[in-house]
Amino acid sequence: MRRLPIKKLWLHLYLLVGLTGNLCSFAAEQHHKIDNAVKPYIEQQAFQGVVLVGQAGQTLYRRALGQPTVGMTDTNSEQPITPDMPFQIGSVTKQFTALLIMQLVEQGGLVLENSLADLFPEQCSSADMQTITVQHLLQHTSGIEEFPDETAYLQTRFAPAVIHQQALQRVCTRGVEWTPGSRFRYNNLDYLVLGAIIEAQLQQPFEQVLQQRILDPLTMQHTGMANGKTNRDDFAQDYFRTASGLQPGLDIRWENYGAAGAMYSHVDDLHAWVTALMNFTLLSEHATTTMFTSDPGKGYVAFGSWVYPAPVGIDDAPLTLVERQGQVGGYESHVVFAPEDKTVIIVLSNVSPAPFEHPYLGQGMAFDILQAVH
């Protein structure tokens, strides 16, 4: 084997050390910039929770921020928030549901133009049900009515096996309030019905499908669907910020949100999830592009997310962002990523309201972090 001359060997070592030093210096600078971006929210006591910032699969920043809070009500012990704590992620669940639907579309078992009457001819046989398609449900343009009292629904005990079927039955017996596809209205029932479609197509409970098709392949060991057996001792207690101080979150049955919002997770698992989306690990590039193609005429809604150009960076050049927010009780979650440069921002809070204004408005904590890293 040919040996390098001593002088060349020292030169190589010098360059390697210099490169490593530059990378460490860059990482430290990025960390400092993100610290400065979140600092005002901490000083104003406007945020408490965990922040993760990643790029190209690497973690740039991972911190728990805010004051220690009381633990879960059954432990009643003072404990600080840590980056390893799971949080309820609410409607971020809808991203997972949308991907499962797109997997079925890609595999040929389902088409976006299928109507509820096509899929459930016995349960959904009315003329209205012939006009509601899978795509309408994905984009919240179905025209189905909302829950008359969502709080009461969330305090009612249901068997997990019937949550999606009950939603389907409700929709199929009530019809639509306006022409499907004509306008947008956010509605959790849309995604509960999508949960029923997934279960009918695969003849498995939604929770099992989620585990087999997403969580296991990505080794998301700290993510799952809330159910009556979920051990919440390790969860951060949720709170509402009021004029008289922090008040514990509502006593609700998270599991009733099903495919619309019953998941819990933590920042590392969500980072793995977003990285898989950007790398087409679970879905082809073509199907992923369909999933993230938004409708500007309806507020840039896509399938399970919002996708839009936002002015980011020194020159305010438009950067396409994929955004998803979630809330259940006092838990709030915010997932934002830029497929172009693979920047990922994940913010989980256990105190509501959290400073999660939409980045397309040039406001909020996620936008300030985006500005810091660009």
**Nearest-CA neighbor of 130 among 119, 146, 138, 145?**
119
**Nearest-CA neighbor of 303 among 168, 110, 89, 112?**
112
- Rounded to an integer, the average pLDDT of 68-86 is 62
pLDDT for 357 equals: 87
pLDDT for 360 equals: 86
pLDDT for 146 equals: 86
Could you tell me if 133 and 115 are in contact, meaning their C-beta atoms sit under 8 angstroms apart? yes
* pLDDT at residue 71 tops 60: no
The tokens for 257 are 């949100």
Q: Is the pTM of this model over 0.85?
A: yes
pLDDT for 101 equals: 98
> Residue 324 burial (CB < 10 Å; 0-12/13-18/19+)?
buried
**Residue 160: CB partners within 8 Å, gap ≥ 6?**
205, 207, 225, 227, 228, 255, 258
* pLDDT at residue 130 tops 70: yes
Per-residue pLDDT reduced to its tens digit, 237-251: 889 999 888 888 877
pLDDT for 155 equals: 65
Beta bridge partners of 317: 312
**Nearest-CA neighbor of 66 among 53, 88, 54, 83?**
83
* Lowest pLDDT segment from 190-194, 277-281, 340-344, 353-357: 353-357
pLDDT for 162 equals: 83
Which of the four pLDDT bands, split at 50, 70 and 90, describes residue 19?
very low
pLDDT for 351 equals: 93
* pLDDT at residue 271 tops 50: yes
Higher pLDDT, 58 or 313: 58
Give me the chain's average pLDDT, please.
88
Q: Which CATH class is domain 38-373?
A: alpha beta
Residue 189's φ and ψ, nearest 5 degrees, are -60, -30
Which of the four pLDDT bands, split at 50, 70 and 90, describes residue 11?
low
Positive/negative CA dihedral, 278, 283, 289, 290:
negative
Residue 317's φ and ψ, nearest 5 degrees, are -70, 140
- Rounded to an integer, the average pLDDT of 255-264 is 93
* pLDDT at residue 20 tops 50: no
How far, in Å, CA of 225 to CA of 106, rounded?
Answer: 24
Residue-wise over 97-108: b if at least 16 C-beta within 10 A, else e? bbbbbbbbbbee
| Percent of the chain whose pLDDT exceeds 90 | 68
* pLDDT at residue 30 tops 80: yes
Could you tell me if 286 and 188 are in contact, meaning their C-beta atoms sit under 8 angstroms apart? no
* pLDDT at residue 194 tops 80: yes
Neighbours of 214 (CB within 10 A): 19
* pLDDT at residue 154 tops 80: no
- Rounded to an integer, the average pLDDT of 7-34 is 62
pLDDT for 160 equals: 65
pLDDT for 199 equals: 97
* pLDDT at residue 323 tops 50: yes
Q: Angle between the 188-202 and 93-106 helix axes, to the nearest 10 degrees?
A: 40
pLDDT for 66 equals: 81
Q: Angle between the 188-202 and 163-174 helix axes, to the nearest 10 degrees?
A: 110
